[in-house]
Structure 1
Amino acid sequence: MSGALRVEDMAGIEPSLVLTVPPEFEDENGHVNIRHYFDLHVRAADRTFEVLGINEGYRAARGMSVFSVDHRVRYLDEVLVGQDVEVYVLFLARSAKIVHGVQALFNATTGSLANTFEFVEGHVSLEQRRTVPWPDDVAARLDAAIADGKTWPALPHEPGLGLR
């Protein structure tokens, strides 16, 4: 696919997850099964939110966390067992209670964009089980992540999820 985002385009941006695909990820078609793509994105998001301070300590001390609200997954190229993958997370925008972002999963062995994962996460009170505003310190870290200047070249689709 000419003009597609490639792993080289991510120079200077730290991946949230790097992994060599293990044999147990292979499905009956001889490539990575879709359930493992989802797991890789969840693991990358978990690491990214931990960097932002949303971790076990945050949940225990503040009684708040993030819940998934919406996802859009696109498969663009296959990944095989033994190949290396890198997952990058980019926050696009936030509102008082929601953050919108996208992840790119690259086949680092071939350099191709294998998959994109667009997400909306809601900030929630674990007691109320409802969305609540981001605390000022977390909102500031999200704003900094959105504005840090590490923007990606155009993805091969228009983002389809809006803030709610």
Structure 2
Amino acid sequence: MVSTSGNGSGTSEDLFWKLDALQTFIRDLHWPEEEFGKHLEQRLKLMASDMIESCVKRTRIAFEVKLQKTSRSTDFRVPQSICTMFNVMVDAKAQSTKLCSMEMGQEHQYHSKIDELIEETVKEMITLLVAKFVTILEGVLAKLSRYDEGTLFSSFLSFTVKAASKYVDVP
């Protein structure tokens, strides 16, 4: 999921487009048996939910791997692929509303499950990114405190390192 185009990666946009095209095609066939048409629509919505769930989980894993591979130096730059992965999550949220929601009770709960998965995954991704920034900040402050040993600021910088890790849950 590295190449970007529009809202997310080319792969995710292609997936969402194809799911939408398939649902539109089936709906436009206007099945003579209304019950059969509804059954097909329901099956396609459940399939879309499963595919979006898989996309979200794979993006989460790729995000964690990419974040672990980034340098630990103080010269940290957020790679474009990490930003793209956040865009994939935003796009998945928008597309799940369109591709997975139905008016029936049980299926609505299934759609809510996808929304909750996306929200939890985004929260986890933000926590991992913040933890990475805190680690880098602690490294910078530790380097600065070494240069200022014995000065007025040395006690301030050592206090800041402890305070930074206190406010953020670092795994």
Is the TM-score greater than 0.5? Answer: no
Q: Of the two, which has the highest radius of gyration?
A: 2
Q: Which has the higher contact order (CA 8 A, sep 6+)?
A: 1
More helix by share: 2
